[in-house]
Amino acid sequence: MPIAIDALQTFLAAVHPYDTLTADEIEALAHAFRPQAMKAGETVYRLGEPLQGLYLIHDGQVAVRDENDVQISALGPRNSFGERGLARDGIAVTSASTVTDSLLLVLPRADFLRLVETKPDVARFFDRSRQPRPKRSDLATSRVETLMTGDPLACAPETPVQDAAAAMRDAHVSSICVTDAGALRGILTIRDLSSKVVAAALPVTTPVSQVMTGDPVSLPPSAIGSDVLHMMMERRIGHIPVTEGDRLVGIVTQTDLTRFQALSSADIVRDVAHAGSIADMAAATARIPQLLVQLVAGGNRHEVVTRLITDVADTATRRLLSMAEDTLGPPPVPYLWLACGSQGRQEQTGVSDQDNCLFLDDAATEADMAYFHALATFVSDGLNACGYVYCPGDMMATNPKWCQPVRVWRQYFASWIAAPGPEAQMLASVMFDLRPIGGTPSLFEDLQRDTLALAARNSIFVAHLASNALKHTPPLGLLRGFATIRSGEHKNRLDLKHNGVVPVVDLARVYALQGKLAPVNTRARIEAAMAQGVLSATGGQDLLDAYDLIAETRLEHQARQIRAGRKVDNFLAPTDLSDFERSHLRNAFVVVKSLQSALGHGRGALG
């Protein structure tokens, strides 16, 4: 089935991304493409075989299948395929066969690689990760390890305060960390020397252990600069040690942050943390939509945007807990407020409801429950007033079922794992995303470790949770399009939450369970799974790229709605996207579908 060069040039000029080339470049490309006529049912290439090159369909239809022989794409004229294998080592990562008699155009691998290396627009089409992002060097995107002083001044607990003060003077610093065999035990600042030593007329021989701030709050090197600023503003402190485990590795001070700007989110955190009333707090959280718009417009990655937005919710929760205690009096026993859902994963966007619970010390009695019900009601009502609406499924600490002593929570998890029915799977999925927000963290630490170990040992539970993770599927249509919502208020739209982000969230949760991995954040779970070998390097990187694209598309959609003065939601009309954006969003869904298929065949993402 021959095709004339001039006809081929006309065809290429109407196909993206070749339409970005000049007429001379299209003519040269037309001579490089080789026509290949194939009958219906013929194999174009098999998984693991060397690829001839990039395939472009001129006429006909082609079915592409993954490594489990599950069809992931049905392609028609003007669609390309095979680029993923070409961009790696030239080996097919899928299989393809014709559905009808077809005319395929084959661009040899050498010509394809030369094209993407020399033409950025073409390269970005076949690899969205090549798209340039705004270069930013601000607090919002800088990791703590790039901000901290890596060799902080330190002394032993028994050091006299005079010696510690002299060391601070000589080093021209305003604090000194107190360590024992490298482990952080406390911090002593100039303010401590003034208020606790000089003002109290203590002897200069007093050990620093008697006047230091013991067990100070700290952050890991992987935290971002905004975490530092938010913590400083909320707690009114100027020095934050950086630790790995309990080992001191650095310190960040206010001086370290002077060259960085992240004032929008920090202003909201400050106003929330110091709000005198729920009305004041609600006025501050009302600025979150504009914060989202500014962060997205500034080119921040989705995990940074959602982290900053979640920081506000965390601060609001802690402020409400403090206000509740001021109103109700001190708690009768230690407690811990935890968030699950998107807040637990630090992935809140412009649409967030409440998902939370209370862990109580095992010393709690039935008589104590009235206090904690009142506390939960105060906080939940306050969050609702601040825009974090009540959970439709009543997954809140106001529900007595989710306000229980730790021993009861242990029983919950043990029963869900032992008998993983549909409800148990749902509840376990929600509760595996728990993250402490305010109270006594030790009430959760042992439970999290023990539950992960117990769940990972139960292969039946893992299999059920994996099956549950396949219930939300990417919205892929059969003919190179999307499976949009068929009826109702959101007809002809994509649900970027339940069919976009949630499938990735579910996969990451299963990988974390399989590897007994502690991270709760989705991206952190995928990275940890790759590091532990639970997830292959190629499968993991594909999933990260797909997740990034889906999550950022969701945020960009919400930002557009806010700018237009519309109510924020997760429902996107494909027609709101360009051909380029639709093509890559669909490719991202294909990646997620492939990894779901691998999980469904009991192979995880290895192999």
String of DSSP letters for 425-454: HHHHHHHTT-EEEEE-THHHHHHHHHHHHH
Cα separation, 270 vs 275, in Å, equals 8
Cα separation, 229 vs 231, in Å, equals 5
- Check whether residue 336 and residue 350 sit in a common domain: yes
The arithmetic mean of pLDDT across residues 449-460, rounded, is 88
Q: What's the CATH number where 207 sits?
A: 3.10.580.10
In the structure, what pLDDT confidence band is assigned to residue 478 with cuts at 50, 70 and 90? low
The whole-number pLDDT of residue 379 equals 98
Top mean-pLDDT range of 69-73, 128-132, 257-261, 381-385: 381-385
List Cβ neighbours of 366 (8 Å cut-off, separation of 6 or more).
Answer: none
Residue 537 pLDDT > 70: yes
Q: How many domains does the structure of the chain reveal?
A: 4
- Check whether residue 353 and residue 498 sit in a common domain: no
The whole-number pLDDT of residue 202 equals 95
Q: Is residue 457 part of a domain?
A: no
Cα separation, 588 vs 550, in Å, equals 7
Q: Is residue 210 part of a domain?
A: yes
The whole-number pLDDT of residue 66 equals 74
- Check whether residue 330 and residue 430 sit in a common domain: yes
Residue 135 pLDDT > 50: no
String of DSSP letters for 32-96: H-EEEEE-TT-EEE-TTSBP-EEEEEEES-EEEE-TTS-EEEEE-TT-EE-HHHHHHTSB-SSEE
Q: Is residue 607 part of a domain?
A: no
List Cβ neighbours of 488 (8 Å cut-off, separation of 6 or more).
Answer: none
The CB-side HSE value for 488 (13 A sphere, CA atoms) comes to: 8
**For the ranges 136-145, 186-195, 394-403, 552-561, which has the lowest average pLDDT?**
136-145
Residue 136 pLDDT > 70: no
- Check whether residue 381 and residue 396 sit in a common domain: yes
List Cβ neighbours of 271 (8 Å cut-off, separation of 6 or more).
Answer: 280, 281, 283, 284
- Check whether residue 293 and residue 437 sit in a common domain: yes
- Check whether residue 275 and residue 334 sit in a common domain: yes
Cα separation, 588 vs 518, in Å, equals 26
Q: Is residue 450 part of a domain?
A: no
**For the ranges 35-39, 278-282, 599-603, which has the lowest average pLDDT?**
599-603
- Check whether residue 327 and residue 430 sit in a common domain: yes
- Check whether residue 301 and residue 330 sit in a common domain: yes
Q: Is residue 606 part of a domain?
A: no
Q: What's the CATH number where 524 sits?
A: 1.20.120
Neighbours of 85 (CB within 10 A): 21
CB 350 within 8 A of CB 288: yes
Domain final position from 234, 259, 284: 259
The whole-number pLDDT of residue 127 equals 67
Task: For residue 590, give its domain range.
Answer: 469-600
- Check whether residue 175 and residue 277 sit in a common domain: no
The whole-number pLDDT of residue 210 equals 95
CB 592 within 8 A of CB 507: yes
- Check whether residue 187 and residue 268 sit in a common domain: no
Residue 365 pLDDT > 90: yes
The whole-number pLDDT of residue 258 equals 58
SS3 103: strand
Cα separation, 368 vs 574, in Å, equals 53
- Helices (H) and strands (E) counted in the chain, each on its own, are 23, 20
> Length of the chain, please?
607
Neighbours of 400 (CB within 10 A): 12
- Check whether residue 492 and residue 379 sit in a common domain: no
> Is 0.95 topped by the overall pTM?
no
Cα separation, 243 vs 223, in Å, equals 11
Domain final position from 218, 239, 259: 259
Roughly what angle, to the nearest 10 degrees, separates helices 579-600 and 502-514? Answer: 30
235: tokens are 């707690």
